[in-house]
Structure 1
Amino acid sequence: MSRQRIEGIVPVMITPFNESGEIDYAGLERLIEWYIEKGSDALFAVCQSSEMMFLSVDERRALGRFVVKQVAGRVPVVVSGHVSDDPYSQLEELQAAVDTGADGIVLVTNHLDPKQRGTAPFLGNLQWLLDRLPADMPLGLYECPAPYRRLLTDEELRFCIDSGRFVLLKDVSCDLETVKRRVAMTAGTPFAILNANAAIAYDAMKAGSRGFNGVFTNFHPDLYKWLYTQGAQHPALAAELANFLVLAALAEPFGYPVLAKMYHQRIGTFASIKSRTITFDVRERFWALDAILDKIVEGTEMMRARIAAL
């Protein structure tokens, strides 16, 4: 299998469900087309934003396969679905990811060290999986914050770089100095450090992060794309846009991924905001949530107009 570069703006895909709780594949098809229309460089399916922890292995496999088929090679697709601590269950999940036909599969760091024992168990568990996964399958790593955030040490990252099998890290350090150090470690290799934290998104891009992989790619991936590819040519507008993107992303704790589903319901991507992760009424818990979303939408359209007028 050829090892495509996975970099640029890489949305973490949400999963639309119908009101009965099943995957809405018609809505998913429209969502995929929206991501591509908005300039996404790759897609990350069956991730935490996809509610992978609440999907069966068969659903994860079917979801990934659908995304790969619909994308049809227009952009690379990576998938995860890595949610278990037991090594044999992990292998089953990752084999399901391989079965999707994706361009890469993504391992979740906390499941490589579920008892938080440190580097030796982490590397031992990782090597066990590497010995059993297809040697030609490009791999990624994801510092998923659930069930706990397990950041890579420099030693662990070096092991992954030197293995030659990894092409990306979804960096959830949320720390610019860590991103800079990792960028330096991976310089000159196909291994892309993709920052996922909006607060440092533009600074990380300027420091060499090869794009952005955060949750607000579900609202305005095109704005992140412009910042990444054109921001240096328009520094004043880029600084203003970067500030807007940070403030917009502060809404994430208000019921994401349902908040993103509310946005896509508004623009007609799909009909239901049903979620398996969020089972409470977000409007009841988070007062004025629709008003917050109004402002995100207004700000997004304002920034799009500013860019179009250049």
Structure 2
Amino acid sequence: MSQLNKLPGGLWPVMLTPFTPTNHVDTAGLEKLTRLYIDAGSSGLFANCLSSEMYQLTREERLEVCRTVVKAGAGAVPVIATGTFSRDVSDNIEFIHRLHDTGVDAVVLITSMLAEPDENEEVLMHRLEQILNGTGTIPLGVYECPVPYKRLLSPALMGWMAATGRFLYHKDTSCNSGTLDRKIRAVAGSNLGFFNADTATALDSLDSGADGLSPISANFYPELYSYLLREYRSGGRTDALNRLHAFLTMMDRTTHNFYPYAAKVFLQRRGLPIQTVTRIPAETPGNADQIRLHSLMDSFHALADQYSIPSVL
């Protein structure tokens, strides 16, 4: 099968979805957020993902989000989006076509939506083949999303997907350097872009040949991740880069608390005109959690000053 063009490596943020005070999709806020990611140095955008509260969106809202991001991006970077929300293969195929018609560059398949926890990888491969056969030449991606459950892919299945020529993006959630290395080697030389979701193993995965990163902390300070990736590409894994990575790894422990609500609070405090409304139920952070979030902001500003990165939006 002929190979599709490889997606650019680098930072691929997993996008948030801003909502209005009346809990509708805030398309104006989403346009501003899209430009923020691009201005921060992102190489591509993953819309309609778990960070986007995709399971809390209606089918039409998912399409609206993708159309908005594609239009706001105006071709500056490629856009991908999730297209599997059912156990029914034909339903997924129909929505993949509709989603691709919004202008996204690839449609992402959720591994845990295509097979039950007790079904083996042969079943998953069969479902992937059905989707390949039913979607023509639409470029695809795959995401080891932790919801409804985390289903990791084997290096062998990764190699098979790469060989089809149809898969261009993989968001990996293995969070283990050895596993990442084996999976990256399985797709080496192909057009299947490998993007690590985990900050702690970010540099290890880049050493192994990963194409880039897709961490949730990039919804707080994408500029720092873009800087990390640029510096790695230009000079490799230096002592200075290890120190920055150490800070990002420690900061990453805070960004996972009250997410995605905390990310919206953080961006709002940075100056992005969006609401902090989420459809995922969120408790009000307590005093200690508020202190941690303020400390996260202080840490970001300190690093931004050190690396001459604008920190106010």
TM-score tier, shorter chain, comes to over 0.9
Match of 1:86 in 2: 88
Q: Sequence identity, in percent? A: 33
> Would you say the 8 A contact 2:108–2:142 is kept in 1?
yes
SS of residue matched to 2:125: helix
Structure 2 counterpart of 1:302, which letter?
A
User: In the alignment, does 2:66 pair up with 1:64?
Assistant: yes
Amino acid at match of 2:259: Y
The Cα shift of 1:256 comes to 0.4
Unpaired segments of 5 or more residues in structure 1? none
**Partner of residue 36, structure 1:** 38
User: How far does the alpha carbon of each residue in 1:130-167 deviate from its partner, in whole angstroms, 9 at most, with x for none?
Assistant: 111131x2211100001100001122212201111111
The aligned residue for residue 49 of structure 1 is: 51
State the partner residue of 1:199: 200
Letter in 2 for 1:305: D
Structure 1 pair 18–195 and aligned structure 2 pair: CA distance change class (3 A): same
Distance of aligned partners of 1:233 and 1:109 in 2 relative to their CA distance in 1, 3 Å threshold: closer
2:283 is equivalent to residue 266 of structure 1:
no
Aligned partner of 2:160: which letter?
Answer: F
Contact 1:140–1:166, Cα closer than 8 Å, also in 2: yes
Aligned position for 1:74 = 76
Give the match for residue 302 of structure 2: 302
Aligned partners of 1:118, 1:156: CA distance in 2, in Å?
12
**Partner letter of residue 263 of structure 2?**
A
Q: Which residue of 2 aligns with 1:139?
A: 140
Quote the Cα distance in structure 2 between the aligned partners of 1:294 and 1:47. Answer: 27
Aligned-pair distance for 1:263? 0.8
Q: 1:32 to 1:60 in 2, by over 3 A?
A: same
Q: What secondary structure is seen at the aligned counterpart in 2 of 1:167?
A: strand
Q: Would you say the 8 A contact 2:6–2:193 is kept in 1?
A: no
Match of 2:99 among 97, 102, 116: 97
Report the equivalent of 2:291.
291
Could you tell me which residue of structure 2 aligns to residue 212 of structure 1? 213
Q: Write the deviation string for residues 201-223 of structure 1: whole angstroms up to 9, x where unpaired.
A: 12212221111101011112221
Partner Cα separation in structure 2 for residue 234 and residue 85 of structure 1: 42
- Write out per-residue CA displacement over residues 99-153 of structure 1, whole angstroms, 9 at most, x where no aligned residue: 2111111111111212431112101111111111131x22111000011000011
- Answer yes or no: is the 8 Å Cα contact 2:45–2:78 preserved in 1: yes
* Equivalent residue for 1:7, pick from 2, 6, 9: 9
Secondary structure, counterpart of 1:198 in structure 2 = coil
Paired letter, 1:187: A
Distance 1:120 1:149 in 2: 17
| 3-state SS, counterpart of residue 308 of structure 1 | coil
Tell me: CA distance 1:223–1:169, structure 2 relative to 1, closer, same or farther (3 Å). same
Residue type of the partner of 2:274?
Answer: A
Kindly tell me: are residues 187 and 115 of structure 1, through their superposed partners in 2, closer, same or farther at Cα, counting changes over 3 Å? Answer: closer
For 1:308, give the aligned amino acid.
Answer: S
Q: Give the 3-state SS of the residue equivalent to 2:296 in structure 1.
A: helix
Q: Secondary structure at the match of 1:193?
A: strand
CA contact 1:52–1:60 (8 Å) conserved in 2: yes
Q: Deviations over 1:217-253 (max 9, x none)?
A: 1112221122122143682321111011111111233
Instruction: Give distance in 2, aligned partners of 1:35 and 1:229.
Output: 15
Please give the alpha-carbon distance, in whole angstroms, between the structure 2 residues aligned to 1:252 and 1:223.
Answer: 14
How far apart in 2 are the matches of 1:91 and 1:21? 29
Higher mean C-alpha displacement, 224-233 vs 236-245: 224-233
1:2 Cα deviation from its structure 2 partner: 6.1
Over aligned residue pairs, what C-alpha RMSD do you find? 1.8
Cα distance in structure 1, aligned partners of 2:13 and 2:31:
15
Per the normalisation by structure 2, the TM-score is: 0.92
Deviates more, 1:12-21 or 1:224-233: 224-233
Deviation digits for residues 242-287 of structure 1, max 9, x if unmatched? 011111111233110001000111123233111111x23332xx44
* Matched residue, 2:252: 249
Residues 29-66 of structure 1 deviation map (CA, whole Å, 9 limit, x = unaligned): 11111111110110000000001101111110111011
What does residue 123 of structure 2 align with? 121
Q: Matched residues in 2 for 1:280 and 1:166: separation?
A: 35
User: Structure 1 residues 228-237 or 36-45, which shifts more?
Assistant: 228-237
The answer for the alignment partner of 1:108 in structure 2 is 110
Amino acid at match of 1:182: K
Looking at structure 1, the residues matched to 208 and 294 of structure 2 have their Cα atoms a distance apart, in angstroms, of 32
